[in-house]
Amino acid sequence: MPTKVCPHCQVEIGEGVENCPHCKRAIGDGVNPYQSPKATASDLREQPWMSVISGLFFGASLAVWFFAPGLSILLVLLAIPTIVRSLLIQQKLVALGQANGLLAQLGLFLGSGCVVTGIGVAGVAAFVAVCLPTGLMTYSWNPNRGDGILFALGLGFIAAVVSGGIIARKFWWPRKLLRPDKSD
């Protein structure tokens, strides 16, 4: 059976196929024959930059432990979701056949750090905005018992999780990965 190659994902497909069974894109119509081919997954796996950047950042976060243990805890708490987000996005880019060099992957990592920091700041702001007034109000009603403070901490925690979840849902995945066929 004669075969041809999908211009989008470079996978061999049958001759009479209209849509690629691998990437689900249309074959033939609107394809620019002069466009450079996309990188294959094997080409992209040979670029270890994201793993190197992640390892260096995590190692630096742990190395700060000797100088400022409290700051090291904060950096590790920021490093883990940043590394996870960066590696997930890089894996999705590899699956789409988009090559990234060192600077693009560094930008992706820094962008992930900004998103994770924004989620953390939103959570802390929501916690303080709910917990502080609720705690002051319940303490003013009954200053001898700590039940109101526990109630305020619980409400603040719920507010932090909800606001952080809303921000994370909005900004965790870049738009171009959610809709790869549309350009921003």
Higher pLDDT, 97 or 58: 58
Which span out of 32-46, 118-132, 135-149 was modeled with the highest average pLDDT? 118-132
Question: Once rounded to an integer, what is the mean pLDDT over residues 140-160?
Answer: 82
User: Is the pLDDT reported for residue 183 higher than 50?
Assistant: no
Q: Tens of pLDDT along 123-145?
A: 999 999 988 888 888 877 777 77
Q: Give mean pLDDT, residues 6-14.
A: 76
Average pLDDT for 15-30:
72
29: left (phi over 0), alpha (psi -120 to 50) or beta: beta
- Whether 114 has a pLDDT exceeding 80, the answer reads yes
Distances in Å between the Cα of 90 and the Cα atoms of 22, 37, 103, 184 are: 19, 19, 13, 19
Give CA torsion, residues 53, 23, 177, 105, to 10 deg: 20
The pTM of this model reads: 0.62
Tell whether the model's pLDDT for residue 40 goes beyond 60: no
Best mean pLDDT range from 30-39, 54-63, 83-92, 128-137: 128-137
* Phi-psi label, residue 24: left if phi above 0, alpha if psi -120 to 50, beta otherwise: left
